[in-house]
């Protein structure tokens, strides 16, 4: 799915660096959540609220590993 940047109020974490390499999030119509690159604020990835909650729980639960 794609979302138009004008559909929501985009924001990034207060912990984001000023270098501009951030992820922005917006709560969109219909309970959807948009995610985009702050350097290239074109079309966004769009998730349902349930999908976003699962992702957030995985991040908070430290279920990701980096190689």
Nearest to 11 by CA among 44, 35, 39: 35
In a domain, residue 67? The reply is no
* 10 pLDDT more than 60: yes
In a domain, residue 9? The reply is yes
Is 41:10 a contact under the CB 8 Å cutoff? yes
Give the whole-angstrom CA distance, residue 26 versus residue 7. Answer: 8
Q: Work out how many domains the chain is built from and give that number.
A: 1
Beta bridge partners of 25: 11, 35
In a domain, residue 66? The reply is no
Report pLDDT digits (tens) over 30-47: 889 999 888 887 788 899
In a domain, residue 19? The reply is yes
Domain enclosing residue 28, as ranges: 5-60
pTM greater than 0.75:
no
Is 33:25 a contact under the CB 8 Å cutoff? yes
In a domain, residue 12? The reply is yes
Give the whole-angstrom CA distance, residue 57 versus residue 4. Answer: 26
């Amino acid at each position: 799915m794609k979302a138009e940047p004008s559909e929501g109020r985009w924001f990034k974490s207060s912990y984001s660096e000023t270098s501009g390499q951030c992820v922005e999030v917006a709560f969109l119509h219909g309970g959807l959540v948009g995610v985009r690159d702050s350097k290239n604020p074109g079309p966004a990835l769009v998730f349902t609220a349930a999908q976003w909650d699962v992702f957030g729980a995985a991040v908070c639960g430290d279920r990701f590993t980096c190689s």
